[in-house]
Amino acid sequence: MSGAQDTTNNVDQELQKKLKMDTCDGGKEKARLKSQTSPTVQSPRVTGLRQKDAFKAPLPISFNRTTSLYSRSMEWQKTGRGRFLFGPSPNHSFGPKASLSSGTPEPYDGEWRDIGMIDPSNQHLEWHSPPQNVLIIKKHMDQDVTKQFKEMVKWLMTEKVMTIIVEENVLCEELVAFDEDFQTYSQKIKPFKAENGNARPSVDLIVCLGGDGTLIHVSSLFQSQCPPVIAFHMGSLGFLTPFSTSSYKEDIQAVMDANLGLSLRSRLKCQVRRMSESGVDEVESEFLVLNEVVVDRGTSSSVTHVEIYCNGRFLTTLLGDGLIISTPTGSTAYSMSAGASLVHPSVPGIIVTPICPHSLSFRPIVLPAGVELKIIVSTESRNFTPMCSFDGRNPKEMNKTKYLRVTTSIYPIPCISHEDHLGDWFNSLGECLHWNRRETKRTSSFKRQQKAVNGQR
C-alpha cells in the first residue's frame, strides 16, 4: 500500500510541477514534460484509445468537493493538462449522403494543421450521391405554412421524384388530412418515426418551414449527426432562417447541386450527472442544445446559489436568479436579453451569462470552446432544488448530489448559407434585431420649403 501511495504522490507532484511550468512559461513546448515522466496505466474505460490518450496513474477517488469531482475534471486525469482550448474538431459527416466538401482547403501548415481548423468561408456542402429522402419540418397549425408545405411537397414529388418524410402529427392536421386534392400525395408521405422495431427513416436533407423555434426543434430531433438544413423564413423572427419561400425551387435546386456554402452552428453537450458516495459518476440525462442551457430557481422563491467550475478550477459562486450557458448561435437569444455580447456563430466559444446576479460586478464572459464547465449546487444553499432546461425544453431537477457538465459537442447543425456566413448574420442583425438603427434628424419645415423652392430634395 505504501508503494502505491508513493507512486500516486509522485504523479501528483509531477502534474503540479508540469502545470506550474506551463503557467510560468506561457505554455511553451520546452516546459512540457515528456509522456514518460509519469507511467501510464491501462484502464478498462479507455479500451481502444491511443496510448497517449490512456489514463495516467489513477488519482484517489472520493466524494470530496475540493479534490475529486469538482476540482479535477476527467480530462485532467486522462492527460494531466486539462482540455484542449480550441475545442473538439466538428464531425464532417452530415447524415448518410452529405459531408464537408473534400475540396475545402486544408488547414494551415504546422501547428494549425494539427488543430484541424478550417476557414469558415471555405466550408461547402458535398453530396456522395444525389439526395433522395427529404424531411420537411413545418410550424404546426399555421394556415400559411401548411399551404406552402403542400405546394413544396407536390413539386418535390412530381418534378424531383423525391421521398418526403414528415412528423406524424403533420399528417393529422385538419388542413392536410381532409384536403381531397392532397390525398394522392399524403398517402406517399412517410412518417418520421420508428415502425415495427426498425429505425427512423433515413434523411438526406432537412427543409424547415417556420421560424427559429422550428430549427431548434430540428436540433432536438437529431441528437448526434444532423443532415444539412435549409431554413425558410415563415415565423415571427427568422434570425436563423435566411431563405425566402418565394424562390424555394431555385434554392433547393442549388442545395442539390451543392452550390451553396455551409455554416456549422456548434452545439453544447449537456449532461446531468449524479455522483454517489461510493465515487460512481453516472450520466442521468444528456442533451445537445443549439441555443443555451439555463439553470434557474424554478418554482422556488429562493435565490439560486451554485458554484461554477472550469476545467476543474473553481471560478466563482453565483447568487442570483440563474445562469445561462449559451453557444455563439444562442448569443442572440436569451443570453442577449440578459446583457451578454453578440458572438458570430463561426467564433468557437461558450458564453456564460448570469441572470440578475446579486453582485453587480458579475458580468458575462466568453470562454474558449474547449473548456469543460461544471455547475454545482452550493453546500451553503438553502433547501431548494434549482432547475435546468435545455433550449427551453426537458426541465431537470438539480440537488446537492447532482451536477451539470457542459462541453462543446462534435456534432454541429450544418445550416445552408444564403449569401455567406458573414452576410447572413449581419442581414439578420439589421432586419430582425434592428441592430444600431436609429431615426435620422428630420429637416425643419422652413428648410423643406426652401429646398422645394430651389428644386432640391
- 281: domain range? 267-411
Would you say residue 394 has pLDDT above 90? yes
| Residue owning grid cell 500500500 | 1
How confident is residue 41, by pLDDT bands cut at 50, 70 and 90? very low
Do 237 and 285 lie in one domain? The reply is no
194: domain CATH number is: 3.40.50.10330
pTM: 0.77
Q: 423-452: per-residue pLDDT in tens?
A: 999 999 999 988 988 877 665 666 667 767
How confident is residue 64, by pLDDT bands cut at 50, 70 and 90? very low
Would you say residue 82 has pLDDT above 70? no
Average pLDDT for 46-50: 34
The span from the CA of 117 to the CA of 112, in Å, is 6
Question: Counting Cβ atoms within 10 Å, is residue 46 exposed (0-12), middle (13-18) or buried (19+)?
Answer: middle
Do 161 and 272 lie in one domain? The reply is no
How confident is residue 153, by pLDDT bands cut at 50, 70 and 90? very high
Distances (CA, A) of 289 to 22, 398, 441: 33, 18, 43
Would you say residue 72 has pLDDT above 60? no
Q: Provide the 10 A C-beta neighbour count for residue 149.
A: 27
Instruction: Identify the pLDDT of residue 451.
Output: 67
- Please report which helix (H) or strand (E) contains residue 322, including its range: strand 313-326
How confident is residue 51, by pLDDT bands cut at 50, 70 and 90? very low
Share of the chain above pLDDT 70, in %: 74
Q: 204-263: per-residue pLDDT in tens?
A: 999 999 999 999 999 999 999 999 999 999 988 889 999 999 999 999 999 999 988 999
Per the annotation, the verdict on 204 as an active-site residue is no
Do 214 and 175 lie in one domain? The reply is yes
Please state the domain count of the chain.
2
Average pLDDT for 281-302: 92
Q: Work out the widest C-alpha separation in the chain, in whole angstroms.
A: 101
Q: Which three cell numbers stand for residue 63?
A: 466524494
Are 402 and 260 contacting, i.e. CB atoms less than 8 angstroms apart? no
Tell how strand 190-191 and strand 163-166 pair up. Answer: parallel
How confident is residue 457, by pLDDT bands cut at 50, 70 and 90? low
- Given the residues 142, 212, 251, 424, the one annotated as active site: 212
110 in any annotated domain = no
Instruction: Identify the pLDDT of residue 38.
Output: 40
Instruction: Identify the pLDDT of residue 442.
Output: 65
371: domain CATH number is: 2.60.200.30
57 in any annotated domain = no
Q: Provide the 10 A C-beta neighbour count for residue 50.
A: 7
How confident is residue 117, by pLDDT bands cut at 50, 70 and 90? low
80 in any annotated domain = no
Do 323 and 407 lie in one domain? The reply is yes
Do 340 and 216 lie in one domain? The reply is no
Instruction: Identify the pLDDT of residue 93.
Output: 92
Q: 8-36: per-residue pLDDT in tens?
A: 455 455 545 544 444 444 444 433 443 43
Would you say residue 54 has pLDDT above 70? no
366 in any annotated domain = yes
Instruction: Identify the pLDDT of residue 66.
Output: 38
Higher pLDDT, 403 or 118: 403
